[in-house]
Amino acid sequence: MDEVEGDPLAVSDQAGTIVRVDAGRTGLVWAVDASGRLRQVTLGPGGTGRSPDVPVHLYPLAYPTFGEEPLREPALRVTHADGVTSTRLRVTSVTSAPVDGHARCGDLVHRVALVDRAAPLGVDLVVRTWPCHDLLEQWVEVRNAGDGAVQLHAAAAFAPTFAGSDPHLTHWGGGWAAEWTETTERLSPGTKVVASAGGVRPSLHRAPVVHLAPDGRASETEGSVAAVAVAWGGDVRFDAEVALHGQQRLVVGHQHVGAERRLDPGGSFESPHVLWTWSDAGTGPASRSLQRFVREEVVRDGARPRAVVANTWEAVGFALHPDRLATQIDRAAEIGAELFLLDDGWFGVDHPRDDDTTGLGDWEVDRRKLPDGLGPLVDRTLAAGMRFGLWVEPEMVNPASRLYAEHPDWVIGEPGRDRRTERSQLVLDLCRPEVRRFVVDTVGRILTEHPGISYLKWDANRDLTEPGSSAVPADRQSHLAVDRVRATWAVMAEIAERHPDVELMLCASGGGRSDPGTLRWFHELWTSDDTDPVDRVRIQWGASHLLPANVLGAHVTRWGQRPLAFACAVAMSGRFGFDLDLDALSPDDLALCRRATDDYSAIRDLVQQGDHHRLVSPVGSDRCAVGYTDPRTGDGVVFLFRLAEGADGDEPEPPPVRVPWLDPHGDRAAIDRTPGGDHAALTVTGGRVAWPTGPAPCATVLHIPAVAPDR
């Protein structure tokens, strides 16, 4: 036992304490050794009843610190007031208590309080159980109880150890229009760092979720895997370590590089929260746990059906005209849309918004384009039986704007340095109270002046450069990386609270904000600006590893010049909508869109609320199959996509797709709801469905009710 002479906690009164954290399929056991250190005994399913079977001090540390294990990645790194850089934590108390007001499935909060062996630094490891979702939520709280300042360099939220012989890490990212591109790689000794960047649109570059399969690559239905997501609106970081002796560890939290914090006496820091779940039956159960959690505990009104949206961007761009918009409204109603969304270009007076270089910040209607304002468009939309939505980008400003001319100091920037623009815009400094008030009041004014607006698309199209704030002291500018996220969240929270009946879509150059932290104030997100349906099959497949279909905006467009029926089928597998020049559609195409909307209404609840099953992966393949089922009723729907022809044009036909919730020995009646199809009644035999035939790309949408359809 490597006790420290003179350490008051060398023999801890917590020694022998065992902490059992149980969330159904997911759990962990910690134990306190004789010197007060916290050790991880086990992790994963079925382990919470386990007791240490070797001396406790032989188990790995539950939360490694800098200087404690010099050959391992630290979760915590601090420079204490006396200049000491190492930290050694001892347990002082362990508590477990029900969650106030939220104990419907036995939710508990476990808190393990630790202190440094010598410095007045407190660190609490906090775990909340979500047994309804087989999921744990973890975070760390650090407190400076001393008289001098402490420099906090890194404080990860989650740092478990895994046992296994063949670790594989899966992560997603790829930049604008390539979000959720999947990478799976075998880990070798050392540390693999997966981190996002940019600060405002981090999910464009790296999604806030990874899968670690410690014992070999997991499939959808086989293998052990931990799915870990960070609920944070800024940059995130995953350190996947394989030590020299083969032990695996994930160190997870916000990106700490460039985000160091000074904790003054009495100061504290709460890390972003991490969500994780375990599966011994492949990635499917892990994904479904995260999806259900996001749908039921994160997004607003998660059980409410999402509307079929008709957006104007691909139809008119910035070239708004009342007559043309009126025609788009009429056509949207004709094809069954339920919400008409007016996108960019509606504002700007001194600097009209004729392109993306001017007008941001000046949120007044451009009367050159809309002489009578938004009112007639809102009224026409409501009279057509639809709701009205509007695009905003409230966190940004163009230098060519009245707002910037009046308040050039309201933007993120560093003194004495040039201000670089991206997309001809700058980021408003929401760390300043007056800027937060401006954004909240501006959104409130728009909604008050136009009470018929019940939906906002909230965009953000620029990353941080020259990351400085006049609201942050000069000696702690690195606080901006965290403080800006929290200030942005404060604005979002106030707007959501003030306007509870207004739905909010989260957008950031597409899917640049896809984290379950920011989604708390939103109803859905824009999955990607890439709406080529062939690409979208792969993007939506990747996003499903964290997000349920009811939050994934999926629109029918002309991107890629794919067949319209195929584009409709792909969009129907998410939150369905249109982004087309509806006035340019032929009568046949209008009829096809109307039929797709009707068919979507028949399967909407299954897609948006059902359990999601990934059946055939499009990663490295030209085919994809996904399904949704209601486990209470047995209703289901299967989407099958052929994305391209074989290389020689004469590919062998693969076997039919096995549908896991169907009886492999029975028959089920089904309805073909493929857009443009004949909607024939079919029979599914042996729980298998055939691939679509005909020139690729093509699709089949097969609705399989629990009760045979009455036709």
pLDDT tens for 5-48 read 334 444 567 989 999 999 999 999 999 999 999 999 999 876 67
Catalytic pick among 134, 483, 529, 530: 529
Q: pLDDT at position 8, please? A: 40
Q: pLDDT at position 497, please? A: 98
CB atoms within 10 A of CB 60: 18
Q: Is residue 11 part of a domain?
A: no
* The last residue of a domain, from among 574, 609, 644: 609
- Indicate the pairing of strand 76-79 with strand 38-43: unpaired
Amino acid in the structure at residue 441 = D
Say which range, 70-74, 333-337, 485-489, has the weakest mean pLDDT.
70-74
pLDDT in tens, 400-431: 999 999 999 999 999 999 999 999 999 999 99
pLDDT exceeds 60 at position 1: no
Q: pLDDT at position 408, please? A: 97
Q: Is residue 472 part of a domain?
A: no
Q: Which residues contact 324 (CB under 8 A, 6 or more apart)?
A: 316, 583
Q: pLDDT at position 6, please? A: 35
State whether 621 and 602 are in the same domain: no
Tell me the DSSP string of 648-710. TS-PPPPPPEE-TTS-TTSEEEEEE--TTS---EEEEETTEEPPP-SSSSEEEEEEE-SS---
Q: Which residues contact 620 (CB under 8 A, 6 or more apart)?
A: none
pLDDT exceeds 70 at position 508: yes
Amino acid in the structure at residue 331 = R
Q: pLDDT at position 650, please? A: 62
- Indicate the pairing of strand 552-556 with strand 524-526: parallel
Instruction: Single out the residue of 488, 466, 462, 493 nearest to residue 477, CA to CA.
Output: 466
Could you say which DSSP state residue 356 is in?
T
State whether 264 and 377 are in the same domain: no
Q: Is residue 211 part of a domain?
A: yes
Element (H, E) at 436: helix 433-449
Amino acid in the structure at residue 709 = P
Q: pLDDT at position 3, please? A: 33
Tell me the DSSP string of 360-394. TT--SB-TTT-TT-SHHHHHHHHHTT-EEEEEE-T
Q: Which tokens is 307 given?
A: 């509307």
CA distance 638 to 573: 9
441 classed as catalytic: no
pLDDT in tens, 359-382: 999 999 999 999 999 999 999 999
Amino acid in the structure at residue 389 = G
Domain that holds residue 176: 168-244+286-297
State whether 458 and 547 are in the same domain: yes
50 pLDDT tier (thresholds 50, 70, 90)? confident
pLDDT in tens, 514-561: 999 999 999 999 999 999 999 999 999 999 999 999 999 999 999 999
Catalytic pick among 459, 463, 483, 535: 459
State whether 320 and 380 are in the same domain: yes
pLDDT exceeds 90 at position 69: no
Q: Which residues contact 704 (CB under 8 A, 6 or more apart)?
A: 635, 636, 637, 638, 659, 662, 668, 669, 670, 684
Q: Is residue 364 part of a domain?
A: yes
Q: Which tokens is 10 given?
A: 């060398």
State whether 345 and 454 are in the same domain: yes
Asked whether residue 594 is marked as a ligand-binding residue, the answer is no
State whether 588 and 452 are in the same domain: yes
Give the percent of the chain with pLDDT over 90. Answer: 91
- Indicate the pairing of strand 161-162 with strand 248-254: antiparallel
Instruction: Single out the residue of 263, 276, 277, 274 nearest to residue 123, CA to CA.
Output: 263
Q: Which tokens is 525 given?
A: 């997100």
Q: Is residue 416 part of a domain?
A: no
State whether 44 and 138 are in the same domain: yes
* The last residue of a domain, from among 609, 625, 645: 609
* Average pLDDT score, the chain: 95
Q: Is residue 212 part of a domain?
A: yes
Q: pLDDT at position 649, please? A: 54
Q: Which residues contact 226 (CB under 8 A, 6 or more apart)?
A: 44, 160, 162, 211, 212, 213, 214, 250, 276, 277, 278, 286
Instruction: Single out the residue of 389, 361, 396 nearest to residue 488, CA to CA.
Output: 396
Asked whether residue 311 is marked as a ligand-binding residue, the answer is no
Asked whether residue 460 is marked as a ligand-binding residue, the answer is yes
CATH code for position 67: 2.70.98.60
Instruction: Single out the residue of 633, 682, 688 nearest to residue 665, CA to CA.
Output: 688
CA distance 597 to 600: 5
pLDDT in tens, 584-606: 999 999 999 999 999 999 999 99
Asked whether residue 541 is marked as a ligand-binding residue, the answer is no
State whether 602 and 633 are in the same domain: no
State whether 208 and 268 are in the same domain: no
Asked whether residue 132 is marked as a ligand-binding residue, the answer is no
Asked whether residue 550 is marked as a ligand-binding residue, the answer is no
Instruction: Single out the residue of 640, 634, 609 nearest to residue 622, CA to CA.
Output: 640
CA distance 132 to 106: 8
State whether 224 and 143 are in the same domain: no
Q: What is the CA radius of gyration of the chain?
A: 27
* Terminal C-alpha separation, the chain: 76
Query: Looking at per-residue confidence, does 653 or 207 come out higher?
Result: 207
Asked whether residue 259 is marked as a ligand-binding residue, the answer is no
Domain count of the fold of the chain: 4
Asked whether residue 457 is marked as a ligand-binding residue, the answer is yes
pLDDT exceeds 70 at position 104: no
Amino acid in the structure at residue 617 = S
CA distance 514 to 524: 9
State whether 195 and 134 are in the same domain: no
Q: pLDDT at position 145, please? A: 97
Q: Which residues contact 187 (CB under 8 A, 6 or more apart)?
A: 167, 168, 169, 240, 242, 248
Asked whether residue 710 is marked as a ligand-binding residue, the answer is no
Q: pLDDT at position 100, please? A: 77
CB atoms within 10 A of CB 188: 8
215 classed as catalytic: no
Instruction: Single out the residue of 32, 70, 38, 28 nearest to residue 243, CA to CA.
Output: 70
Say which range, 118-122, 241-245, 615-619, 688-692, has the weakest mean pLDDT.
241-245
pLDDT exceeds 90 at position 679: no
Say which range, 69-78, 325-334, 650-659, has the weakest mean pLDDT.
650-659
Q: How far is CA 189 from CA 166, 171, 319, 690, in A?
A: 11, 18, 56, 44
pLDDT in tens, 275-332: 999 999 999 999 999 999 999 999 999 999 999 999 999 999 999 999 999 999 999 9
Asked whether residue 431 is marked as a ligand-binding residue, the answer is no
Q: pLDDT at position 102, please? A: 57
Q: Is residue 412 part of a domain?
A: no
103 pLDDT tier (thresholds 50, 70, 90)? low
pLDDT exceeds 90 at position 244: no
Give, in degrees to the nearest 5, the angle at Cα 219 between 274 and 137: 15
Element (H, E) at 203: helix 202-205
CA distance 531 to 567: 9
CA distance 390 to 368: 18
Q: Which tokens is 488 given?
A: 């942005």
Q: Is residue 481 part of a domain?
A: no
CATH code for position 641: 2.60.40.1180
pLDDT exceeds 50 at position 680: yes
* The last residue of a domain, from among 591, 609, 627: 609
State whether 325 and 191 are in the same domain: no
Asked whether residue 128 is marked as a ligand-binding residue, the answer is no
127 and 21 in contact (C-beta within 8 Å)? yes
Q: Residue count of the chain, please give it.
A: 711
CATH code for position 574: 3.20.20.70
678 and 595 in contact (C-beta within 8 Å)? no
